[in-house]
Amino acid sequence: MELAMKLCQTYGPAGREDRVREMIRSEVEQKSTSVSTDRLGNLICHVQASERSQEAKKDSLMICAHMDEIGVIITHIDEKGFLRFTGVGGVRNAVLHQKVIFENGVIGTIGAETKPQTPKDLTLTNMFIDIGASSKQEAMGKVRVGDIAAFHQDAVMMENRLVTKALDDRIGCFCCIEALKRIRSPILDIYFVFTVQEEVGLRGARTGAYALAPTYALAVDVTATGDTPECARMDVALGKGVAVKVKDMMFIANPKVNDRLLMLAENNSIPYQLEVLERGTTDAAVVQLVREGVMSGVLSIPIRYLHSVSEMCDTRDVQATIDLLVHVCEQGPAMP
């Protein structure tokens, strides 16, 4: 999991994925038939079908995982050097006193107004970033309006559990990297697409899928769980295997693809669970609608404390996701 930890710790909020992309490129370049970056910033890794299947298979499979993470962007710098900000992606209000880091390495901490009329339930508009500056001029020597920061938190292994920021969706990227390395005889042309700007509107997946026009697609992303005290009811838990999505807010999985995923999991003793997510979605929501349509599914890694600086995953679920991805690539995403 060392690579997974490095990926999660790398700066890469939406629209600023360059460092993550280069780290992934260095891992996959030698194992790919070709590697390219499109205009929006997606990293596209082509793995050509094995010789024995060249004539039999004309279809292609797109497997996508997004590189970006949530972050914050400076909207104003006041006379005392404090930074006002808003979210880049779904930043929750429970970020008070968390650290952030800007692309140039400047670190700040999030504080909040203490005036009597400040609402008890704080919003981002009641918060600010303190970078240790004592004036606007000093602050502007370090950052400027429009600079984007990511959250800053160490990664910790707790036996078979990893706790860190940005598991959404660096752990999905990790699964794709490891699967790509393990594939021996791909049954069809596969395009691993590490997408940009998912957290602000599934943008990279849309342009990547339009260019590739795949027959099939799988998004590899994270999902919420229903296994913490008094949480919303949901039949997904840490440690019980890869979650095969049935539905979320914007996506209904193709039944033929899902039937194949379940069959491959059962035939290869891969633990899995079924996922119905009431809020949220993945890249698959836009991929399935490209051109004349793409037969799509989603493999999800269960995560506790989504969109926080201390997201938690189970390494057994990660391994199950990698194993199922490899079987899909070598045996096909739908029945022959």
Q: Name the residues annotated as catalytic.
A: 198
Question: Strand order in 242-247's β-sheet?
Answer: 34-37, 43-47, 189-195, 60-66, 216-223, 295-302, 242-247, 272-276
Strand partners, 303: none
223 φ/ψ angles, rounded to the nearest 5 degrees: -145, 165
Strand partners, 87: 72
Residue by residue, DSSP assigns 283-304 as THHHHTTSTT--EEEEEEEE-B
Residue 43 to residue 211: CA distance in whole angstroms: 13
CB 100 within 8 A of CB 74: no
The residue type at 100: V
